[in-house]
Amino acid sequence: MSHQNTIKPYIPSLLSWYEQNRRSFPFRENPTPYMTWISEIMLQQTRMEAVLPHYTQFMKTFPTIQDLASAPEALLLKTWEGLGYYSRARNLQKAAKIVVEKYHGVTAEGLVESALDKVRIIEELVIRHVP
């Protein structure tokens, strides 16, 4: 039996369960690739309850990737305080600088969003039409 055939019977139940039980998080409401990226990095080895207040403050302090890239390290680390693993914050800023510099101050969010849209379309097609 193929992997797709094994999973297919569970897809409607899983989607239904998710719709009934999903929790609301700020990075799920009108998400951007930047918001998702920040939440994913923050949630590495950290509980959701610990991340949420920090995420909200982080997004207020650094609402764009350009703001993150140009921030003084002291402000970045102060904003990250309480999440631990400070190398994550430093590496996040290094990556933000690369994205901003490589794209001449324009984020790659449009490229990422376009790719995510394509993935969502493919997922929907697979979910609805897997034999």
Please identify every residue annotated as catalytic: 40
Looking at residue 28, the DSSP 8-state letter turns out to be: T
How far from 130 is each of 19, 24, 28, CA to CA, in Å? Answer: 21, 29, 27
How is 45-77 classified by DSSP, letter by letter?
Answer: TS-HHHHHHHHHHHHHH--SHHHHHHS-HHHHH
CA–CA gap between residue 12 and residue 43 (Å, rounded): 28
- Cα separation values, 94 from 75, 90, 131, Å: 15, 6, 44
